[in-house]
Amino acid sequence: MQRKKTSARKIGASDDRRPLGTDVTKIRGSTPTPPKKSPLPQKLAPAQRFPIPGDDGILVCPVGGVGRIGMNWTLYGHAGRWILVDAGSAFVKNATENGCFMPDPRSLRDVLPRLDGLLVTHAHEDHIGAIHHLWPRIGCPIFATPFAATLLKGRLAEKGAQGKAGFRIFKPGDSFKVGPFSIETVPITHSVPECVAMAIETKAGRIFHTGDWKFDPDPLLGNPTDFDRLKRVGDRGVLAMLCDSTNAERDARISSESEVAANLAEVFRTRRGKIAISCFATNLARLTAICRAARMTGRKVALAGRSLEKAEAAGAEVGLLDDRHVILSDSRHLKGLDPHEILLVCTGTQGEERAALAKLARGENWRLPDIGPGDTVIHSARAIPGNEAAIEEVMKRFRARHVEVLMGLDGDKPLHVTGHASRGELKTMYELIRPQFAIPVHGEAAHLAAHGALSLECGARTATLTEEGDVLRVTRNGVERVTKIRIRHLAALESSGEKLVPFEGRVGMMATIPAASVAKAPVIAVRRRGRAARPGSRKAA
């Protein structure tokens, strides 16, 4: 591999000169003017190079998804080779731009020639949203379940890149080899069908990557969690666990998808007007719940929004949906029905201006029914941090028209359930997997810190809090930071059309871990300026 002489190589030296102590929860988005010819920056500024993974440990690099919600990318390196688990996108959050952003593959240029596979845990945007934008620039085989692969193939076909991506389809529970890694997938429940956790085994030990998950006793659709399998993974010994932190601050019991289904049916029955409901497109269990409740209460269901239509078609294609799933072929067919027979499922849970729910609120799409006094709008999804104001803007329009708005609750009955584990479930996961070392991922700084402290209570020897671009080395002796890679970002914006433009999508400095939790046990705080870096050969890491 060619290496440029200009690159800074010293371990622990970072070219990233951001001040310490900035607010990690705030994502500073700004859009530089797109360059005239190429959508990509021509040169990376000098930055640390990725080490070449050795045989005696496993390198772990959260390229995205720590210190923020979204854009989950995790690299694992061993014996000279790498795998990437998930390649998602994050929302662009600023007043003037709509779109998403993702890591620039040029930041991974040392890794790409040695990358044996992209492994997809599940079909959420924050895990797959970058793939159709970046292929074939990444260009390794994509390992995905039938549902995720069907969605991805559709998107790649639209971009004209379908034939360029090689898919290896696996079923939840399958095991397979990718380079020097043996992968065992474990079915786990979340808010999308065919979700898996992954045990990643190498000659240097085993890492467990949970992906997104919760323990839903009655998920309505798809595989239940395979608890025996989780325990067997734990029995064989796990060095480190990278686990979902989204709800690590929440104690509340998480209700199941079936409970939501019953509550939705009650709302559909007791309201006499039209009902519009917004949910995440890939939440096919929620769509199933809506269809069942509609059938029981004499309502007809139509979909508004392309991503919903695509997810429903993909679900039907891979056999996830059954004949109880009756949906009108066109939302215009609702128009001749009585109000109490009308049920419209919409995209736009995050207040996106061009999505169906916002159009419905503005009354600007003639294909959709008019929503007014006596009608009900249900928000059956969570607000991704940063999108609250946009969502509220849409709901305000409905309220101004005297529409009843139910934000995830009818009184105290949930009309939405989170897809992420709360503290009680996290404890159960630690009891099953029993990792020696915890590396909390998928969450903002506060979530990671809360999860780190909890993991120590659950018996982990250390908890390592990371920033995006940190390269950690996991061995039987512990977790150490080897170096930090500067990760650049590209955005797909409405204003930039098909082009990807450079984008500053960084998070700030990791917040300090609450002193109380540090005092109890040895939390390793991975710091920006190389204090946790260890001497040793970059190549032999």
- Rank residues 44 and 446 by Cβ distance to Zn ion and give the closer one: 446
- Rank residues 97 and 126 by Cβ distance to Zn ion and give the closer one: 126
- Rank residues 359 and 447 by Cβ distance to Zn ion and give the closer one: 447
User: What's the rounded Cα separation, in Å, for the pair 104 and 489?
Assistant: 5
Length of the chain as a residue count: 541
Q: Which x/- pattern over 65-104 shows residues binding Zn ion (rule: CB under 5 A)?
A: ----------------------------------------
| Strand 500-503 versus strand 489-493 pairing type | antiparallel
Enumerate residues 207-246 that contact Zn ion by CB under 5 A: 212
User: What's the rounded Cα separation, in Å, for the pair 365 and 517?
Assistant: 53
User: What's the rounded Cα separation, in Å, for the pair 463 and 457?
Assistant: 10
Contact 446, 508 (CB under 8 A): no
Minimum CB separation from Zn ion for residue 411, in Å?
28
Single-letter amino acid, residue 108 = L
Residue by residue, DSSP assigns 10-55 as -TT--S--PPTT--TT------PPPPSS-SS-S-PPS-PPPPPP-S
Minimum CB separation from Zn ion for residue 190, in Å?
5
184 binds Zn ion (CB under 5 A): no
Q: What is the CA radius of gyration of the chain?
A: 23
Minimum CB separation from Zn ion for residue 86, in Å?
8
Single-letter amino acid, residue 240 = A
- Rank residues 114 and 124 by Cβ distance to Zn ion and give the closer one: 124
Residue ranges of alpha helices (H) inside 71-124 are none
The strand ranges marked E within 86-131 are 90-91, 99-103, 115-119
- Rank residues 123 and 501 by Cβ distance to Zn ion and give the closer one: 123
What is the b/e burial string over 157-169, where b = at least 16 CB atoms within 10 angstroms of the residue's CB?
Answer: eebebbeebebee
Minimum CB separation from Zn ion for residue 122, in Å?
5
Minimum CB separation from Zn ion for residue 73, in Å?
11
The H or E element that residue 132 is part of is: helix 131-134
Q: Which x/- pattern over 245-284 shows residues binding Zn ion (rule: CB under 5 A)?
A: ----------------------------------------
Minimum CB separation from Zn ion for residue 442, in Å?
6
Minimum CB separation from Zn ion for residue 197, in Å?
12
Enumerate residues 113-152 that contact Zn ion by CB under 5 A: 124, 126
Enumerate residues 509-538 that contact Zn ion by CB under 5 A: none
Instruction: By CB under 5 A, name the binding residues for Zn ion.
Output: 124, 126, 212
